[in-house]
Amino acid sequence: MPSSAETRPIRVLIVDDHGVVREGLRAYLELEADIQVVGEAKDGLEAVRRAAELQPDVVLMDLVMPNMDGVDATSRIKQQLPATHIKGRRDKLPAQGRRGHGPGAGDPRRARGPSPTAPRGRPTADATGHQSTQA
């Protein structure tokens, strides 16, 4: 049992559908003496079950997952464990971001012309693939 000078470690549940992400987060968090990773879950359904079982202080929750997303899982966990802190993570781009529809995609200054940092006198290409030579 910890003395009054010592504090109990923060108990963390990691939730992500990618094993390599869970492993990386676990390795990083375990470097901290005051953090204890108590478990992992691969989707929202498992997260709800594991949170009830493990009673973590903090849940690191991926928001985009199969079976049950992190938003629904967060809502259910908060109903069962209102004192648990949940930090939502989103490591995937929305579909429009992957297709060039993100910030600046429609800005012609970003889509065409040579780079202002391209070496002078060397061939450059604009977004359409047309080559030009800067003077």
Question: What is the CATH number for 73?
Answer: 3.40.50.2300
Where does the chain have alpha helices with state H?
19-29, 44-54, 70-80, 95-98, 108-111
**Does residue 3 sit within a domain?**
no
**Does residue 5 sit within a domain?**
no
What domain count does the chain have? 1
**Does residue 109 sit within a domain?**
no
Cβ-based neighbours of 123, under 8 Å, separated by 6 or more: 131, 132, 133
**Does residue 24 sit within a domain?**
yes
pTM of the model as a whole: 0.65
Strand order, beta sheet including 35-41: 35-41, 10-15, 58-62, 85-89
**Does residue 126 sit within a domain?**
no
**Does residue 106 sit within a domain?**
no
User: Is the alpha carbon torsion for 19, 21, 27, 33 positive or negative?
Assistant: negative
Query: Could you give the CA distance from residue 131 to residue 64 in angstroms, rounded to a whole number?
Result: 40
**Does residue 116 sit within a domain?**
no
**Does residue 130 sit within a domain?**
no
Domain span including residue 40: 10-91
The tens-digit pLDDT sequence of the chain (135 residues) is 455 446 899 999 999 999 999 999 999 999 999 999 999 999 999 999 999 999 999 999 999 999 999 999 999 999 999 999 999 977 654 544 444 434 444 444 444 444 444 444 444 444 444 444 444
pLDDT at residue number 84? 97
Helix (H, G, I), strand (E, B) or coil at 59: strand
